[in-house]
Amino acid sequence: MNTLSLPQHLMPLLMHIEPLLVPAQLYQLGDEVNVTINNEQLIKIKTATKECSLAFNFIAAENDDLQPTYQVRDQWLAPFDELEVLRDKVVTDSSLILCGYPTTDGCFDLWHHQGQARATYCHHSGASEAQRAMLLVALALDYPIDDALVLARAHARSYQDHNCRAQGELVWPTTAKVFPRAVVSHDSELEQFGCHSNDNALTPFASLDRTKLGLYPVVDSVNWVERVLQLGVTTTQLRIKNLHQSRLEQQIQQAVVAGIACQAQVFINDYWLLAIKHHAYGVHLGQEDLDSADLAAIQQAGLRLGISTHGYYEILRALEYQPSYIALGHIFATSTKEMPSLPQGVSRLALYQKLIGERCPTVAIGGITIERAGKVWRTGVTAVAVVSAITQADDPEAAIAELNNILVANVENQAGGALSDDSIRAL
């Protein structure tokens, strides 16, 4: 059981925290959270994977034991530092989190991530107590800090907009309009953020053929690309790791040729320069690649773009690039790739799909077996990506046929798009 321990002076937050724990359990978003009151100065949170402490508007003390993991500043009285100055402080202090920094037409949330400052922006901050409560609940449910801050801002706005205090109403944020925007390199809000970019705003990447989505095998060799295409697959991805450059380029070129011959959508993972060179159908990039890849060059070459995501913040970030699809993962534990995050599970997947809606095609990936495929498909995703379910099957042809049958059998449920709240809770 996870624990959330509040100092006595924050007991009023219980009126906001307890209603949030109800939908968290109904949606099966994490382990049960036990809330207690302590006689200390810091908020204490313990989950299966982390222990952290937190304080709002922290005042440094000589006692190092009182130094919190996260110092959240969320009260702003003029005069205060310019946003650019505060951004630099966040870069150098990994514990500092700035919430609701006010500007003339909105507010920013800023936090530290691997030596950089991340930020989200929205036009109004919402209710402050509701924001604090969701931040603590999300951390206690083992969401990473990025996602906890996104959920906190979305809940604060939803609470203020819809007065979610009505008894019995589920208050978990699910509608896209209450979520903030992720600030990215080509964002028009960069000037307020203290940055200046020479990048032009990206237009939407080329769209893919949704009728060819559904089953999406991810394979590690051109032989497998050719094999699954011959078995009727119409969308696949070549994901090669640690291969010598000359052999790598040959495989990519062959995969592109095979895709053209079969009129299939073949995506190349990571190697965007080679994908452009050989006129690939599309390229798939991870979050870390978004900072280094020349997205404008990929777009101008006419390639489709898929982006990996692992939670709320990364989804919001991916949406800013208007990709051809967004991958949502990893849904279940997987041994095919080392993952930086916890498995998301089907309930979180359904909420992510509800957030994205019809704005972008989606691909669920990670640990999806034949037995799990139907449940994943019913969340409303556009495609289901599988790896070992095909490549390690005794009979890959039979596995592909069975997976296709599962998707066809559930197409009426899937065709309606994102699930209702009741359906999500029933997953």
Tens-place pLDDT, residues 318-330 = 999 999 999 999 9
Instruction: Confirm whether 44 is a catalytic residue.
Output: no
Give the per-residue SS3 of the chain: CEEEEEEHHHHHHHHHHHHHHHHHHHCCCCCCEEEEEECCCCEEEECCCCEEEEEECCCCCCCHHHCCCEEEECCCCCCCCCHHHHHHHHHHCCCEEEEEEEECCEEEEEEEECCEEEEEEECCCCCHHHHHHHHHHHHHCCCCHHHHHHHHHHHHHHHHHHCCCCCCCCCCCCCHHHCCEECCCCCCCHHHHCCCCCCCCCCCCCCCCHHHCCEEEEECCHHHHHHHHHCCCCEEEECCCCCCHHHHHHHHHHHHHHHHHCCCEEEEECCHHHHHHCCCCEEEECHHHHHCCCHHHHHHCCCEEEEEECCHHHHHHHHHCCCCEEEECCCCCCCCCCCCCCCCHHHHHHHHHHHHCCCCCEEECCCCCHHHHHHHHCCCCCEEEECHHHHCCCCHHHHHHHHHHHHHHCHHHHHCCCCCHHHHHHC
pLDDT at position 414 is 54
pLDDT tens column, 338-387 = 666 789 999 999 999 999 999 999 999 999 999 999 999 999 999 999 99
pLDDT at 296 over 50: yes
Taking only the tens place, the pLDDT of each residue in 162-202 is: 765 544 456 799 999 999 999 997 665 556 655 554 455 67
Share of the chain above pLDDT 70, in %: 87
For residue 354, what pLDDT is reported? 95
* Chain position carrying tokens 């819809």: 162
| Separation CA 216–CA 384 (nearest Å) | 6
User: Distance between CA 336 and CA 334 in Å, rounded?
Assistant: 6
Please compute the mean of the pLDDT values over residues 207-222 and round it to a whole number.
96
* pLDDT at residue 33 in the model: 98
Q: Is 308 a catalytic residue?
A: yes
Average pLDDT rounded to a whole number, residues 395-413: 86
Residue 424 has pLDDT above 50, yes or no: yes
Catalytic residue among 227, 239, 372, 378: 239
Among 56-60, 210-214, 301-305, 383-387, the minimum mean pLDDT is found in 56-60
Residue 43 has pLDDT above 50, yes or no: yes
User: 220: how many CB neighbours lie within 10 A of its CB?
Assistant: 18
Distance CA 122, CA 181 (A): 6
241 is catalytic: no
Residues 19-24 have a mean pLDDT of 94
How many CB atoms neighbour CB 265 within 10 A? 23
Read off the pLDDT of residues 58-110 as tens digits, 9 standing for 90 and up: 876 655 567 899 999 999 998 999 999 999 999 999 999 999 999 988 999 99
Domains of the chain with bracketed CATH: 2-193 (no CATH), 210-426 (3.20.20.70)
Per-residue pLDDT, 170: 62
Which one of the listed residues 53, 125, 308, 324 is annotated catalytic? 308
Question: Tokens 């050989």 belong to which residue?
Answer: 278
Residue 425 scores a pLDDT above 90: no
Give me the pLDDT at residue 198, please: 46
State the pLDDT at residue 163: 63
Segment 18-40 shows an average pLDDT of 94
- The residue-averaged pLDDT of 256-261 equals 98
Angle at CA of residue 329, ends 193 and 262, nearest 5°: 110
Which pLDDT band, with edges at 50, 70 and 90, does 416 fall under? Answer: very low
Region 224-231: mean pLDDT is 98
397/339: higher pLDDT: 397
Separation of alpha carbons 150 and 410, rounded Å: 32
Active-site residue identified among 165, 210, 337, 359:
337
Q: Is the pTM of this model over 0.85?
A: yes
Span 4-17, pLDDT tens digits: 999 999 999 999 99
135-162: average pLDDT:
95
pLDDT at 147 over 50: yes
- Average pLDDT taken over every residue of the chain: 90
Half-sphere exposure of 422 (CA within 13 A, CB side): 0
Residues whose CB falls within 8 Å of the CB of residue 252, separated by 6 or more in sequence, listed in order: 222, 238, 240, 268, 271, 274, 275, 278, 280
